[in-house]
Structure 1
Amino acid sequence: MKLYYAPGACSLAAHIILNEINVDFDLVRVDLKTHLTEKGVDYYQINPKGYVPALEINPGLILTEIVAILPFLAQHDPKQDLIPPSGFGRAKVLEWLGYLNSELHDAYAVFFQGELDEAAKKKGYAEIDRLFSYIDAAIAKAEHEYLVDDNFGPADAYLFVLTNWSKTIGHDLTPYSNVMALRKKVRQRQSVEIALRDEGLIK
């Protein structure tokens, strides 16, 4: 498999899951400003949508959209604990991925679309805080270690990546102690350490 990524983008979640399932894969860095790969290939020829991630499963067989890629990869887990195979558990994974993608990801995206004045920043922070208030409360009420069950999974990887963006935009996550605790737990995984290092986000 081949993952087209940009450092620190949501593609990082797919990178983490690829490390978890311990398969051979190649990484191809994409410049999202020029839409060229590291070898100068027009990325639009690979993914006409123009954004990452894109997962090349076999030559010419491309899957896009993080909410599709993460479950696809997780189901290849040889230990069978990254995602439930069916039923309510799997539906809960998809529920979290949908929420993170359509709500939290979009709330952060406002800050990456150009300079914001102070009023727009305040409004943007307020929306992110509203969403994290829900997530923090949901984690507090849960009787399991991670978002869906006692096993780390794709929703946890995605949430971790999104929380990284708070530092980039100057947003304070410290009021959300349950989110911070989950984030810390995910950060300690070897798959995360390797992905961060390979994308040049840590040394």
Structure 2
Amino acid sequence: MKLYYAPGACSLSPHIALREAGLPFTLEKVDTKTRTTETGTDFTTVNPRGYVPALQLDSGEVLTEGAAIVQYIADLKPETELAPKAGTLARARLQEELNFIASELHKAFGPLFSTTIGDDARREAKEKVARRFGDVEQKLSDGRPYLLGETFSVADAYLFVVTNWANHTGVALDAWPKLQAFMQRLTGRNTVRQAMQAEGLI
């Protein structure tokens, strides 16, 4: 399999999942501005939507959208327990978290990466991110180490990646100690560090 990625982008989530699952894969870096890969390929021929992640399977088929990719990876190695069994309420809870991160938290960060956004819009975006972080803090307030409880899942990888964007957008995590502790746990995880090192992030 080949994962098309951009350093630190949401493609870091399936990158972590691949390492957690112990699956063989290669990486190909994408310049998201020019939409070309490091080998000179027009990335839109891989993913017509033009954004990462994209996972090229051994069959040649390409799977896109991070939440779908990480579940596919988890299902290839069910013994790793990166995702609960399909058809269970626990799996629906995983999908619930993945959808929340994608539609509410990930998208809330979007305006903060703009170089043309005005001060008022930037403040509003930070306030929205803060509300979503408050939701996550509440989820973690019962003492659970991970989103689904005691077991690390692909939703935790996605949450780590998106929350890590706070460092680059001026959003301090001081108000959310449970989330801070979560980030420290994930930062100490070998697969997370390996993925970040491979992407040149640390």
TM-score by length of 2: 0.96
How many pairs does the alignment contain? 201
Are 1:114 and 2:77 counterparts?
A: no
Q: How far, CA to CA, are the matches of 1:59 and 1:29 in structure 2?
A: 20
CA RMSD, Structure 1 to Structure 2 (Å): 1.2
SS at match of 1:79: helix
Q: Deviating runs (4+, > 3 A) in structure 1?
A: none
Please list the CA deviations of residues 1-25 of structure 1 after superposition, one character each: whole Å capped at 9, or x if unmatched: 1000000000001000100111110
8 Å Cα contact 1:37/1:43 also seen in 2: yes
| Structure 2 residue ranges without an equivalent (≥5) | none
Letter in 2 for 1:193: R
Q: Structure 1 stretch 132-141 or stretch 108-117: which is displaced more?
A: 108-117
SS at match of 1:111: helix
8 Å Cα contact 2:31/2:38 also seen in 1: yes
Aligned residue runs from structure 1 range 70-89, under 5 A:
70-77=70-77, 79-86=79-86, 87-89=88-90
Instruction: Compute the displacement of 1:161 (Å).
Output: 0.3
8 Å Cα contact 1:11/1:53 also seen in 2: yes
Instruction: Compute the displacement of 1:78 (Å).
Output: 5.3
| Structure 1 residue ranges without an equivalent (≥5) | none
The residue number in structure 2 matching 1:40 is 40
The residue number in structure 1 matching 2:99 is 98
Instruction: Compute the displacement of 1:164 (Å).
Output: 1.1
Q: How far, CA to CA, are the matches of 1:78 and 1:91 in structure 2?
A: 16
8 Å Cα contact 2:17/2:73 also seen in 1: yes
Aligned residue runs from structure 1 range 47-196, under 5 A:
47-77=47-77, 79-86=79-86, 87-141=88-142, 144-196=144-196
Q: How far, CA to CA, are the matches of 1:75 and 1:182 in structure 2?
A: 24
Q: Percent identity?
A: 40
TM-score by length of 1: 0.95
Instruction: Compute the displacement of 1:59 (Å).
Output: 4.1
8 Å Cα contact 2:112/2:126 also seen in 1: no
SS at match of 1:104: helix
Instruction: Compute the displacement of 1:73 (Å).
Output: 0.7
